Structure 1
């Protein structure tokens, strides 16, 4: 095989599509989490902003954040130009970093187990979202 043929047979790198895929997943997670938080504060499921929440309320927040993190990772994998699992896991790594920063900034507020949990769920949720996408793609073929 000639050098030219080898170069043209490689998949083209698509950094903008890769970035867009990861950002789409991140946007879904942020928007859904913030909208749900806002709704639950508005309808009285959660106390007013800035007031402490109960363990049950934190568990509820953690539950829907798990769902949104898996969904966001699925989106990142779905729109990835290549290597969908890598894109899902990159989103998970971003989640680890953002959750750790949030935990450090909010450490003085509320229960410590909650922000630590957000850090710990990021990569497993990313893996789950990537696997859901890979399985759905496998079933389509």
Structure 2
């Protein structure tokens, strides 16, 4: 391989890393907000802006956990190298975004829910990365 080709590959790697993390983030956002919208439309949740019950928050937390693991798996899958690191970077972004959301929405609803969203970010990211590594190695 010539030097020019090696340089081109090295330049693409950071873009692929950013793309993998952004892809995982988009997966989480689209699935979470899509499910929220569906549940509001079906009457599972009250209209937007009205308070939800504890059971409804538990339901939202459950599918957000599943989607966070899936998004982290996607990030690990498309990472150009070190898939667990990429998944954990997504988890750190999740902590930051969830913390910002908790601060902004603190006056709404139960306080345990936004705290739980912050707390699940890194464990879900690790689980998604580990799931990818397990399927990749056949273990």
TM-score normalised by L of structure 2: 0.92
Q: Does 2:42 align with 1:62?
A: no
Distance 1:87 1:96 in 2: 14
SS in 1 for 2:47: coil
Distance 1:58 1:106 in 2: 14
Gaps of 5+ in 2: none
**Deviations, residues 69-110 of structure 1 (Å, cap 9, x unaligned):** 000000000000000000000000000000000000000000
Q: Does 2:39 align with 1:43?
A: no
Tell me how far 1:12 sits from its aligned partner: 7.4
Distance 1:25 1:83 in 2: 15
Distance 2:84 2:61 in 1: 23
SS in 2 for 1:49: coil
Gaps of 5+ in 1: none
Which residue of structure 2 lines up, in the alignment, with residue 97 of structure 1?
A: 96
Q: Does 2:134 align with 1:131?
A: no
Which protein has the larger Cα radius of gyration, Structure 1 or Structure 2?
A: 1
TM-score normalised by L of structure 1: 0.90
Distance 1:130 1:12 in 2: 24
